[in-house]
């Protein structure tokens, strides 16, 4: 199964699939084995970076990117 990354409206990047998340030194972040997805912060206000802690809800973060529409 490919890894799927979803841009949540005004929220985190939701990453689904089997993956490893590494820091800049190549060390792996521990990921919960029982969760099908992880949420990565993109507002910059999480106290649990790189993971989302819901801070985007109170910091005014706005992002609703959409993929380009396919031409018919």
Strands, E, within the chain: which ranges? 4-7, 13-16, 37-40
Q: What is the model's pTM?
A: 0.88
pLDDT band of 50, cuts 50, 70, 90: very high
Q: Which residue has the higher pLDDT, 4 or 71?
A: 4
């Amino acid at each position: 199964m490919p890894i799927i990354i979803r841009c949540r409206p005004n929220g985190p990047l939701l990453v689904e699939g089997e993956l490893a998340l590494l820091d800049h030194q190549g060390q792996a972040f521990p990921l919960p084995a029982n969760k099908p997805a992880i949420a990565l912060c993109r507002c910059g206000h999480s106290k649990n970076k790189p993971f989302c802690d819901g801070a985007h809800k109170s910091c005014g973060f706005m992002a609703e990117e959409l993929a380009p529409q396919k031409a018919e």
